[in-house]
Amino acid sequence: MFKNHLEVLDYCKQNEIEFVDFKLLDLAGRWHHLTITTRRFNADTIENGIGFDGSSYGFLSVEKSDMVFKPDLSAYFIDPFNDAKTLVFMTRIYKVTDKHIRFESDPRFICEKVESYMKTEQIATRALLGPEFEYYTFDSCQYRVDPQASSYAIDTVQAGWNAHKAENNNGYLVHHHGGYHVDRPKDINFDMRNDMVKLLEMIEVPVKYHHAEVGGPGQQEIELDFESPIIMGDRSMKVKYVVKNTATLYNRTATFMPKPIFGEAGSGMHVHMQLFNGETPLFYEKGGYADMSAIGLYAMGGILKHAASLMAFTNPSTNSYKRLVPGYEAPVSVCFGTANRSSVIRIPGYAIQPNEKRFEFRPSDATANPYLCYAALMMAMFDGIKNKIDPIENKYGPYDINIFKLSEVERKQIGGLPSNLHDVISAIENDCAYLLEGGVFTEAIIKDQIEYLKKEATAESLMPSPREYKMYYDL
């Protein structure tokens, strides 16, 4: 961590850095950036920041759109992709007043506030999150969304649909749902993933492992080591940055879309969660269900109670709900179980040591703004702990069976997640008080998120699709 601008400039000199880059996050979770030369970096950069238009980033519920960002001197890395050596800082957003104050709806600030709330309420001293990033890489991607024409097309040489082609075909193709842990020569992305992981480790994103995933046409997974919400938010953004830019260097393209291919496995961002007091794990208690403590059960109860409204921040795209359908191992049942991949919450059966005891929220995907996703999950968890929401008493489980194999009558007795953004909007409008506790989330950012979701849902519902032409054109 740097203490002042002089230490930054000294670091730049020692490492032959030419530019300083600042990453800003919009409401949807995309990075934007602004760059200056090292010559322009000074005490004023840190103390007074650099101005920008906040309304262009989706933050609409503010008195004035003029804002400033300041570098977070504890969060930086050297960009591995730029030709000119560049030092990158994460940023903090401030409102422009007589005295700059933090912008309450800054997603990184919300993650900071959720950790402070946890400690102030004496729930825990440390929260650890461990996301799994699933994504696809393709050779090409084309799409068109015009009034008179709408289409998309993706392709990759490894896909089973290319089995008939004569060119670039060695017969080692990965067929439908056949990609899980495939080895060379079918795992054509192995070298690329190794490069991704080496770059991630270089910029302080420790990786647990990586592998090919179920989806035959190039689905893969990178799983990270555990960290606190704010640091994990930064690392999540770095993962998407490195994956997409490395794919580009290989003349390929990567997407974190939850459902880029009809009928094929979708891509999620499962989030493992743990709480500690000091070094004492709070989710472990010998003899409880799956050796889960009462606090651990309450934490799950809070998330299950608020599952529908959580999706406003964990699954904010229309494409999210093309993944969250029965089958394809999609977690659509609002319940919990041990080693159960069809439930919203899964307790890993292999995590048996006290310091490993955790649960996994499975519906979320990487179209989420990671900071808002992690903070929302934490607030639901804290609500469950504070109000002792027992998931067993509330009939959320446990279900240690594949729910998709139950009869339709039995499945209906288990609540389901919303199936579209319209239902999610209704859920968050009626269930957001738990997010506002302690001033962690603001009414403004919830309002902005609702407006964003409404815009997305309306746009999708108004657009004719190629399938509709096939089904109805001749009627």
Would you name the residues annotated as active-site residues? 53, 132, 134, 213, 221, 270, 341, 360, 362
Scored b (16 or more CB within 10 A) or e, 384-423 reads bbeeebebeeeebbbbeeebeebeeeebeebebbbeebbe
* Integer Cα distance of 105 and 112 in angstroms: 11
Q: Is 101:95 a contact under the CB 8 Å cutoff?
A: yes
Give the residue among 393, 457, 396 at the shortest CA–CA distance from 427. 457
- Determine if residue 340 is left, alpha or beta; phi over 0 gives left, psi from -120 to 50 gives alpha, anything else beta: beta
Q: Is 154:261 a contact under the CB 8 Å cutoff?
A: yes
Name the phi and psi angles at 164, rounded to 5.
-85, -10
Give the residue among 300, 189, 259 at the shortest CA–CA distance from 460. 259
Number of helices (H), then strands (E), in the chain: 14, 17
Residue spans of alpha helices (H) in 276-369: 294-305, 307-314, 320-323
